[in-house]
Amino acid sequence: MTETRIVLVRHGQSTWNADGRWQGQADPPLSALGEAQARAAAGGCPDVDAVVASDLVRAQQTARIIGEHRGFGPVRAEPRLRETFTGEWTGLTRDEIEETWPGWLAADRRPPSFEPWEQVTRRATTALVDLHEAHPGGTVLAVAHAGVIRAIERGLDVLGTVPKNLGGRWFRVNGDGLAAGDVVVLIDHASVVVTAPDQL
């Protein structure tokens, strides 16, 4: 049975990641560190036949940097890999959320406007299955978001943690559906440093 392997990873650090703000489907770019992380990840990324990414800027930038460094070709935008819509929590820090919704984070509660994880799972899983249809037997790099990766894992009853930037998981797709593989981390976070533009 033909099987497609997908390495699904979280984007590099964004400016809002650096500020500790919940992003959801807001569209901040990569920070300087995030760009350095993406460059470092190019060396740790396996050879792939195609690259796709969420249509949000932080994912597109990450995928494009990796692709350009490795010569993987163009990045295709996949809106179904967008981060979870976080409603009124968008742009807030954990402290700001705790102030207005005390105890909700600890209890894993979300406001009504928050996109249900089941919906995220459905759209993202469908996107991965469609990648199998487009690249049967191939290997694909998909750059997405922490909430998306966690939702897919949850849908598969796989125990996961919030992936660090450029971390994620391998997935296998065939005619029987989607299966989770090993956790993957493309960079050594401690070794990634921000390089001044004139030193690039």
**What residues are labeled active site?**
11, 83
CA atoms of 61 and 69, how far apart (whole Å): 12
List the one residue out of 96, 91, 63 whose CA is nearest residue 78: 63
Give the CA distances from residue 131 to residues 35, 51, 56, 81, 139, in Å, rounded to whole numbers and listed in that order.
26, 10, 19, 12, 10
CA atoms of 68 and 62, how far apart (whole Å): 10
For residue 2, the tally of other CB atoms under 10 A from its CB is: 10
CA atoms of 35 and 125, how far apart (whole Å): 27
Distance of CA 183 to the CA centre of its chain: 13
Pinpoint the alpha helices (H) of 51-180: 57-70, 94-100, 117-134, 146-155
Residue 163, classed as helix, strand or coil, is coil
